[in-house]
Structure 1
Amino acid sequence: MRTIYAVTHPEATHHVEGVVGGWHDSRLTPAGLSAAASIAQALRTQIPDGAEVELFSSDLRRTRQTAEKVAELFDVEAILDRRLREKSYGEAGGRPQEWLDRRFVPPPAVGERLEHDEGVEGAETKAVWARRIYAAMDEILRRPCEHQIIVTHGGSLTFVVASWIKMPIESVGHASFRAPSGSITTLREDDFFHNRQVVSLGDTRHLDSAEAG
């Protein structure tokens, strides 16, 4: 049985500064660092002691910082993969969100959505974004490890899940699996039917308990 734990990084500076994330290399806030420790603890309670664990992470600083908390608890080294990054917003990255909002051209309700030009210089299309996440997932899933942790971003989680359930890329134009920052999504494939389950999407109970403490 294979289980994947897909983590969306917790609060980062771009969240509180009101600027566009994407490839802007923001860092975790103090609250985000505390949440990252809670994520690591939650994963530790779900994964059996002594089980082999692999850890993969986007190479941006906010995801690296999250992965470092997990790595410390599991005594593993994170495998950094730039393909697990958030969508690139091109020249909008790091600018005020309202700057992007004034220029953003939303995709049409019908028609071409994957190759849609959002009107921002250098921004990735949804097709480019999806293909790189799918490629990263293909490599991760070729590895035989039964417990794999993937630290990524809120937007990119859609394509992690879509890839997991084998949704064809040409069908993801309308797909959106949204989850809060600092969440854990659990994906599992059984050894008998080889069905790929989405056991939980965007679980944040570990953050609630941390705040209560």
Structure 2
Amino acid sequence: MRTLYVVTHPEAKHHIEGVVGGWHDSQLTPAGVRDAVSIAQALRAHVPDGAEVELFSSDLQRTRRTAEEAAELFDVKPKLDRRLREKSYGQAEGKPQEWLDRRFVPPPAVGERLEHDEGVAGSETKAAWAQRIYAAMDEILQRPCEHQIIVTHGGSLTLVVASWIKMPIESVGYASFRARPGSITTLREDDFFHNRQVVSLGDTGHLDSAKAG
């Protein structure tokens, strides 16, 4: 049995400043740090005591800081992988969201979507984004560990899940799996049929419980 816990980092400064994230290396807010603690505690409650755990994370500050909380509870060192980053928005990164909105060219309903030019210099295509996430996932899943944690970004979650269910890259142009910041998505593969389940998508119950407490 293999279980993956895919974490979307919690609130970061670009969320509250209204600027474009992508590869813009913003830090977690104080609220985001508190949520990272809740995420780590929720993960610890789900993984059996004594089980081997591997932890992978995007190398940007907001994901790395999130991963550090889980690393401390599981006594593991995060494996940082730049391929798990969010989509790059090129020239738009760190600029006001409205700057990007004025220039952004949405993909067509029918036609080329993976190599679509969004009208922003240096912006990554969805094809390039998908290829690097799929490559990272291939390497993670070649490892025999039964409990793996992946800390990534809200947009990249779609491609992690698509890779998990073996969706062909040529089909991901239409895929979208949405989740709030600070969510945990649970993926599981059984030992008999080797079916790959999406057990839960974008769960934030751990955040709601922390706020209620």
Q: Paired residue for 1:211?
A: 211
The 5-angstrom pairing of residues 34-45 of structure 1 reads 34-45=34-45
Is residue 57 from structure 1 mapped to residue 66 from structure 2 by the alignment? no
Deviations 1:54-97 (A, max 9, x none): 00000000000000000001000000000000000001000000
Q: Paired residue for 2:86?
A: 86
User: How far, CA to CA, are the matches of 1:148 and 1:91 in structure 2?
Assistant: 34
Percentage of matched positions with identical amino acids: 85
> Which consecutive residues of structure 1, in runs of 5 or more, have no partner in the other structure?
none
User: How far, CA to CA, are the matches of 2:25 and 2:125 in structure 1?
Assistant: 20
* Partner amino acid, structure 1, of 2:107: P
Q: Paired residue for 2:24?
A: 24
Deviations 1:159-205 (A, max 9, x none): 00000000000011100011110000000000001000000000000
Q: CA RMSD in A?
A: 0.3
* Partner amino acid, structure 2, of 1:69: E
The 5-angstrom pairing of residues 140-179 of structure 1 reads 140-179=140-179
TM-score w.r.t. the length of structure 1 is 1.00
TM-score w.r.t. the length of structure 2 is 1.00
User: How far, CA to CA, are the matches of 1:121 and 1:210 in structure 2?
Assistant: 41
1:19: Cα distance to partner?
Answer: 0.1
1:148: Cα distance to partner?
Answer: 0.1
Is residue 109 from structure 1 mapped to residue 121 from structure 2 by the alignment? no
How many aligned residue pairs are there? Answer: 213
User: How far, CA to CA, are the matches of 1:177 and 1:208 in structure 2?
Assistant: 21
Q: Paired residue for 1:135?
A: 135
1:145: Cα distance to partner?
Answer: 0.1
* Partner amino acid, structure 1, of 2:87: K
User: How far, CA to CA, are the matches of 1:60 and 1:179 in structure 2?
Assistant: 19
